[in-house]
Amino acid sequence: MQAETFSPSGKAVAIFSKPGHEQLVTLVPELLKWFQEHKYDVVVDSETSSYAPRTEVVPREEMAARKPSFVVVLGGDGTLLSAARAVSKAGIPVMGVNLGSLGFLAEVPIDDVFPTLQSIEDNCCQFETRAMVHCDVLRKHALVGQYDALNDVVLGKSTVARLNYCDLFIDGAFVSSYQADSLIVSTPTGSTAYSLAAGGPVLEPSVEAIVITPVAEHSLTHRALVVPNTSEIEIVAKTGRDEAYLSVDGQIGIPIYDGDRIRCKRSQYRVKLLRFQGTFFDALRAKLKWGQR
């Protein structure tokens, strides 16, 4: 994937944090000091506010309107997904600082935070754009929900004991009926998340495709399906009197009822991820331990 050079257009930054992480106690004040010394205006989300007294607090859903030059995410991939959805429509780049253990998106180790910020200050940083998937939920021909996801949307069952039943269509053509725990519609970025755990393929992030992966499918012949990202994917829920559940990046959810239609396609928005280290394949070797004995 070819990266583009990132040159900050201003001196403003937003900070998103994973709630309650112990490293924030020292890291956030150090960040605020660095940004003050380098003449940045700083706003923080509510999760960061307890570590940043006298700093303006802005709800995540309103961050994009403040037009920061970039966003610093302190946490893991989950926190970064939340930040990405909040600012992707405004095209604001995201820098992910990994406070967890297994992160494909939040790539900056905590020890490299300040050298990385200096590389941004020196215009030596690059960014990659990542595709998102858009999802419409229709109930009796009425639109009841619209979502954009960086990783995936998942139609799952609402109880442990039952299977999830649904029909799958691609560009209006019937594909198959599924009886499974869940059905995942994933971007290339999300191919290393839940889809991978369910046996789906790994896609290089620049691949123009969408992955459809069943989870614990009742039929042994069903496998993950890769389709062009120009396709329209429609899932029709067959829940009977029960309900299913649709999750977006594992964070936003909506109940799904019998006959509901979930229509997925390539989103008009893309996420800009600030990149500093090696290639995607370097990340695979480091995170998945490829090639290690």
Cα separation of 245 and 234, whole Å? 16
Neighbouring CB atoms inside 10 A of 173's CB total 9
Helix/strand/coil percentages in the chain, nearest 5 = 25, 40, 35
Catalytic member of 45, 77, 249, 260: 77
- CA 145, 186, 206, 78 torsion: positive or negative? positive
Rounded to a whole number, what is the distance in angstroms from the first to the last CA of the chain?
28
Tokens of 155: 């139609």
Q: Does the annotation mark 77 as catalytic?
A: yes
Reference 191, options 180, 178, 204; nearest CA is 204
The single-letter code of the amino acid at 271 is V
Active site residues: 77
